[in-house]
Amino acid sequence: MTRQKFALPVLAGAFALALSSGAQAFPDKPVTIIVPFGAGGGTDITTRTLAGPMAKALGGTIVVKNTAGAGGTIGAAETARAKPDGYTVGMMPVGPMTTQPHLRKLPYDPASFDYVCQAYSAPSVLVVRKDSKFNSLKDIVDYGKANPGKLNFGIQAVGAVTHIGGLGIEETSGIKFQYIPFKGSAPTFKAMLDGTVDMFVAHISFLTKNADQVKSVAVLMNERVSTAKDLATAKEQGFDLHVPIWGGLVAPKGIPAVARSKLEKACEAGMNSEGFTKRMAQLRMPVTYLGGNAYEAFVKDNFVGNEKLLRKAGLIKK
């Protein structure tokens, strides 16, 4: 009996030691980053640009997986329910994190995650086709007033940041759009090229990447962007709009502290790498890093602020 009592704590100690050793060895297999939109959009571009230098800093392999649909909430839900071991993280943007949970019943909210880092905070841009007759936000507003109900606006989902940008234009100008939802920037772009929609709000990197086919009519920021000083803001044109597109890495709640720390440090190192900063400069995107704790506070503050915005827009009925 004495030997049995002695053996139990020894076994428990050995099990705890094994768990600790496993966490210290993180990562010993590939880490998957879930992108909640299709390939080719701003979130996807940023994630794939970061994945290489972050994997190098982590000392492992990173695989990017696109899980599009429902305004990014399918990918966010997949991230939230993944095994909390650090091997699945999500690059979650503003919409799935701070607007969609107010608009529908979802299996997650901001408290469902551990926060790794903010990976980007990019200017949003209202884009039209290169051959569009619209060359400014004023052109669009004038047309919208003269032709009610004739402007089609592409969005990724009701309540997505792309929709918030449109609502902001409506509120400051008095015009109304017909909103058409798509599963990401790439299909929205295709719809604009074929004439299904007249415009949509995009990540500035999307504008840069497709500059031969699209043009900006307004950057939806208070001031001109340091990396894109040639682009006029909405505010300069008389419309006070500030709609940044941000996102960062989160993991299912409860990942090991060692894994979280290593991911956070690898994110910071990756974002400071020459390859990442050079590519962001090419895309005219500022590099904006926040550590896990600061990013968590930022997301939760935006969650509260966006609830007020959505309620004011009449999108929250309860």
CATH code reported for the domain at 29-121+245-312: 3.40.190.150
Instruction: Judge whether 259 and 85 are in contact, CB under 8 Å.
Output: yes
pLDDT tens across 120-148, in order?
A: 988 899 999 999 999 999 999 999 999 99
Return the half-sphere exposure (C-beta side, CA atoms, 13 A cut-off) of residue 131: 4
Task: Check if 29-121+245-312 and 124-237 are the same fold.
Answer: yes
**Token pair belonging to 311:** 């309620």
Give the residue-averaged pLDDT of 60-84.
95
Residue 312 φ/ψ, nearest 5 degrees: -65, -35
pLDDT tens across 40-56, in order?
A: 878 898 999 999 999 99
Residue 5's pLDDT band (cuts 50, 70, 90): very low
Q: What span, in angstroms and rounded, lies between the C-alpha atoms of 315 and 318?
A: 9
Return the half-sphere exposure (C-beta side, CA atoms, 13 A cut-off) of residue 184: 20
Q: Where are the domains of the chain?
A: 29-121+245-312, 124-237
Residue 10 in this model has a pLDDT that exceeds 60: no
Residue 11's pLDDT band (cuts 50, 70, 90): low
Q: What is the pLDDT of residue 227?
A: 76
CATH class given for the domain over 124-237: alpha beta
pLDDT tens across 215-273, in order?
A: 999 999 888 888 788 999 999 999 998 888 899 999 999 999 999 999 999 999 999 99
Per 3-state DSSP, the chain is made up of helix, strand and coil in percentages (nearest 5) of 50, 20, 30
Residue 74's pLDDT band (cuts 50, 70, 90): very high
Instruction: Judge whether 90 and 36 are in contact, CB under 8 Å.
Output: yes
